[in-house]
Chains A and B, each alone.
Chain A
């Protein structure tokens, strides 16, 4: 048990000078190694204060915080912060330094030699999906908001810290970019397995990102601390229920990812093949449409038999456009994409945009049906047992997703 605990808050309180009411009152919380714990609550509830006490940007007035077993108050604050990745909403890249300098700051403070820093910077830029050759010498202002936050994440990961604190990291980006950043980050976390404390006021984001979610009330008091599944199914009190908001069942679509459910296979035709090939493939598969793909296997268009005119010699530009989704996207994202395109299906693509399968409305309905059935079973009491089970099923989701790659 103790071996499993990464961060342990023990009755932590914070009273700011000159104020009678504590900003944070008596918070105790255990955060396990490798999980993403999301602190979610209304603005001003003290969630950021709670987070900042972990890396001592704010010193607690009372209580103890253990990081990997040692009391953070006994450690040198700067050394402590270099071991904890820190990402904030405003990104906070230094505008007068290049991307590479920004990312290499912590390793430099830790006294790494130049070559090791350079190599690490390139590795990290690759990791967050930015081409080092193109980006390492750019200045932050030459990047888009999404790219800046990717660099922000890379900087926080620079010295490979076991723990990361993220304060509304994707809050300042537009919904589309935010969604992409969230998916990318989850994919990253699958590899990195960091212990992450994530602050947000957006409950949907909490459901999507969190292994466990702590819903905080005033003075950062924990209203409920549980997995997203349990939280949506059994809100502890009316405040939590209000905070979850309407449409809890719809929100459950946020809990499952495209990677975790079964997809449909469709016949593929390379765009440089002949139109007759389409008809043959349709016939073989007994389907109404084939997907054209380019040389790299990236989906291009849906082609039905009707779309082909007798005189057709090339498949280039024939058919209806496709909607694509990422395997890390939630079912809700996928449903959204399908509704927006009114196509009733979305092509699942990998991170290079290559075809991996097709998600249809029927696949979604089947998954929703399964979720509702299993929900009803897990709604029995004995909190701890269910807890374990949902944690286990979480693990299954992940390995399932991996198995399909």
Chain B
């Protein structure tokens, strides 16, 4: 059986494993984003707290993935959970670091302006600081996604889901009929998935780029036009000229 025959004959299994792989990566990066951004927000103002958070995250990253997965078997057993926990831990560092960098790069004049016009801490964070830091945070999320993509393959070792199972079965049956095909399909699958997810995140970056939302701006304007039209008892928005200012 050559590579393509193998691909064809196992397509249902492979598709399922690819989706599982994507699923566990997306879930753990999403969880790491929530935790990492919160840690970043909590620590970016204090150099000491910031240092501690980054050092801890960096230390976790240096633990070999096999060792960490092995260690996690004791508390969490085998399967999905230890894999998810390990991936989330690995994904933290780039996200924390980029959150901290992104937030501290926000122009102090802007945070002062936010305070000066009466925004509280939380409002300033959610409406000013995080949106401005978002491109940097998103860059961290992309790095984390790429990183966990590879590590997720190893998670098959503790019974985790995904394309890692192909690789491990291939390595276990070295010399067997389909061993090379298995290892190959697992590896190539991970690479392809990584490229696809990165493209999606890149697209997300474009769509959420600050001040680059023709769609939202258009919707806001449209609503306004409709309101103005209704107020004047005029025909619907399409009939209103672009110079709404003068029409009020």
Residues of A at the B interface (CB closer than 8 Å) are 55, 57, 78-82, 86, 88, 90-98, 105-106, 109, 114-115, 118-119, 122, 125-126, 131-133, 136-137, 139, 141, 155-156, 165
Tell me which residues across on chain B come within 8 A of A119, comparing CB atoms. Answer: 248
User: Closest residue of chain A to B214, judged by CB?
Assistant: A137
Task: Note all chain A residues with C-beta closer than 8 A to B56.
Answer: none
Which of A94, A131, A137 gathers most chain B CB within 10 Å? A94
Q: Pull 6 A–B residue pairs with CB atoms less than 8 Å apart, ordered by A.
A: A81-B115, A88-B112, A94-B127, A98-B211, A133-B244, A133-B245
Contacts of A82 in B (CB 8 A): 117-118
Whether B120 and A78, one on each chain, are in contact in the complex, defined by CB atoms closer than 8 angstroms, is yes
Query: How far, in Å, is A210 (CB) from chain B's closest CB?
Result: 22
Residue of chain B at shortest CB distance from A101? B220
Set of chain A residues within 8 Å of B243, measured between Cβ atoms: 133
Give the residue of B119, B123, B245, B248 whose beta carbon is less than 8 angstroms from that of A131.
B245
Interface 0/1 of B112-132, CB less than 8 Å to A: 111111111001000110011
Looking at chain B's contact residues, is the secondary structure mostly helix, strand, loop, or mixed?
helix
B201-245 to A contact mask, C-beta < 8 Å, 1/0: 000000000110000010001011001000100000000001111
A133-B242, A133-B243 known; A81 vs B107 contact (CB < 8 Å) = no
Q: Given B118, B210, B231, B248, which contacts A78 in the complex, CB threshold below 8 Å?
A: B118
B242's nearest neighbour on chain A, judged by CB, is A133
* B110 proximal to A (CB < 8 A): yes
Closest CB of chain A to B229's CB: distance in Å?
Answer: 12
A92's nearest neighbour on chain B, judged by CB, is B113
Are B227 and A96 in contact, CB atoms less than 8 angstroms apart? no
B246 interface contact, C-beta 8 A: yes
**Chain B nearest Cβ from A56, distance in angstroms:** 10
Residues of B within 8 A of A106 (CB): 117-118
Q: In the complex, which of the residues B113, B123, B211, B227 contacts A115, with contact meaning CB atoms closer than 8 Å?
A: B227
Are the CB atoms of B245 and A132 closer together than 8 Å? yes
B interface residues with partner A (beta carbon < 8 Å): 107, 109-110, 112-120, 123, 127-128, 131-132, 210-211, 217, 221, 223-224, 227, 231, 242-246, 248
Chain A residues in 8 Å Cβ range of B231: 115
Knowing A79-B118, A105-B117, A155-B117 are in contact, say whether A88-B211 is a contact too (CB < 8 A): no
A92-B113, A94-B127, A139-B211 known; 10 new pairs, CB 8 Å cut-off, are: A82-B117, A86-B116, A88-B113, A95-B211, A109-B119, A114-B223, A114-B227, A126-B245, A133-B245, A137-B217
Q: Is the CB of B116 within 8 A of A92?
A: yes
A130: min CB distance to chain B, Å: 10
Beta-carbon contact of A88 and B109 below 8 Å: yes
Chain B neighbourhood of A91, CB < 8 A: 109, 113
Q: Nearest 8 A-B pairs (CB), nearest first?
A: A92-B113, A96-B210, A82-B118, A132-B245, A90-B109, A81-B118, A86-B116, A133-B245
Q: How far is it, in angstroms, between the C-alpha of A246 and the C-alpha of B41 when the chains are bound?
A: 52
Report the minimal beta-carbon distance from B213 to chain A, rounded to whole angstroms: 9
Q: Contact between B119 and A78 (Cβ–Cβ < 8 Å)?
A: yes
Are A96 and B109 closer than 8 Å at their CB atoms? no
Residues in A neighbouring B116, C-beta threshold 8 A: 55, 57, 81, 86, 88, 92, 165
B residues less than 8 Å from A97 (CB atoms): 211
Contact, CB under 8 Å: A95 / B132: yes
Shortest CB-to-CB span from A162 to chain B, Å, is 15
Asked if B117 contacts A81 (CB within 8 A), the reply is yes
Closest to B241 in A: A133
User: With the chains together, A67 CA to B248 CA distance in Å?
Assistant: 36
Contacts of A131 in B (CB 8 A): 245
Q: How far is the CA of A105 from the CA of B123 in the complex (A)?
A: 11
